[in-house]
Amino acid sequence: MDELNNLTEPDKDYIAKLQEELKQKEKIINELRERLLSIEEGLKKFDDIDLKLKIKDDLIENLKGSLSLKDDQIKTIKSSMDLKEEQVQTLEYSLKIKNVKIKTLEKSFHLKEEQLKELASSTVEKNLLMEKDEKIEKLQEKLNILNGELEKADEDLEALETENERLRNNLASASGPKIVDWTDIEISKADILKKMRDILNKALHNITIAVPDIKDLQELHLYEVRSSVNMKISCSIDPSLEEDAELLEEFGSLDNITIRLYDQKDRFVLDRDGEDLIFGIIGKNENNNLVIHTRDSKHQRLLRSLVMEGWLRSRKID
């Protein structure tokens, strides 16, 4: 400190100037250091670019390899096609040879026929023909016997049919009035659906169907019905159930089907082209179903009002 105090003013100014220059140098050094860091970061980017370029080159090489493999595969396919064409030509040639052989055999066959005709005129062949004729006569006799037995069997069958008809008439007359008590009748749902399916196969134009549940439609094989047939269907549907929702979407996708919601679950209906009508009323027990199947126009006229009543009560599905 004493030494600094002993400095002259010029010395002090010089030292201050040196300190100022030192600060400037440090500032320059800091700026250079920052530029160096920036350059290093730029070099790192160049390194990343080099790496990406290398990856791209590898990818290009892989693609070239794939293209080469594809070319090889195409060549292999072309070779296979050429081989197939050769095989086809070989088969065509073989067919031509077969046709020639067939024609040759036909000629040989006709020649043999001519030879047989010539041989038939000889005495030996006449004897052979006589033996054949005797065998034919014996076979004809057996055939006549069999025909007689067949005629007798037909007569017996006709007599049996007559007897069966007589027994049916006797049974009908002995059974009293023909009004049937349907209270405890047992007709299962499976039997009804089977009958409906049989009638559906005859449909040509329009069908009205009602079943208790949409799942019952699976038993009717609606996909087998002609696409030109317009089908109106009412049934119970619970869209919250996955199976019901899937079936609704499946049947709804068919252009010729209209499905409406009818939740009463009280009937089976099939009205086919105004010719066949099935109307089934579900009873209180599982198989206690009253079923009417009729082709009579008056029967249908009355029952069809019930069919339309069910359709009008059904609701469109949103």
Q: What does the H/E/C string look like for 6-61?
A: CCCHHHHHHHHHHHHHHHHHHHHHHHHHHHHHHHHHHHHHHHHHHHHHHHHHHHHH
State the pLDDT at residue 2.
52
CA dist list (Å): 308 to 36, 208, 252, 279, 300: 93, 9, 21, 12, 12
State the pLDDT at residue 123.
56
Specify burial of residue 215 (Cβ count, 10 A radius: 0-12, 13-18, 19+).
middle
- Across 3-7, 50-54, 61-65, 210-214, the highest mean pLDDT is recorded for 210-214
Asked if residue 195 lies in contact with residue 292, where contact means CB atoms within 8 angstroms, the answer is no
User: Is 0.85 topped by the overall pTM?
Assistant: no
The pLDDT confidence band at residue 140, using thresholds 50, 70 and 90, is confident
Averaged pLDDT for residues 10-25: 76
Averaged pLDDT for residues 61-75: 73
Averaged pLDDT for residues 2-9: 62
- Res 217 pLDDT > 60: yes
Give the Cα separation of 196 and 177 in Å (integer): 29
pLDDT digits (tens, 9 = 90+) for 112-124: 677 667 665 655 5
DSSP string, 104-157: HHHHHHHHHHHHHHHHHTSHHHHHHHHHHHHHHHHHHHHHHHHHHHHHHHHHHH
Of the listed ranges 100-104, 247-251, 266-270, the least confidently predicted one is 100-104
- Res 287 pLDDT > 80: yes
Specify burial of residue 293 (Cβ count, 10 A radius: 0-12, 13-18, 19+).
middle
State the pLDDT at residue 209.
97
The pLDDT confidence band at residue 91, using thresholds 50, 70 and 90, is low
What is the strand order of the sheet 315-316 is part of? 289-294, 276-282, 267-272, 206-213, 230-236, 257-261, 315-316
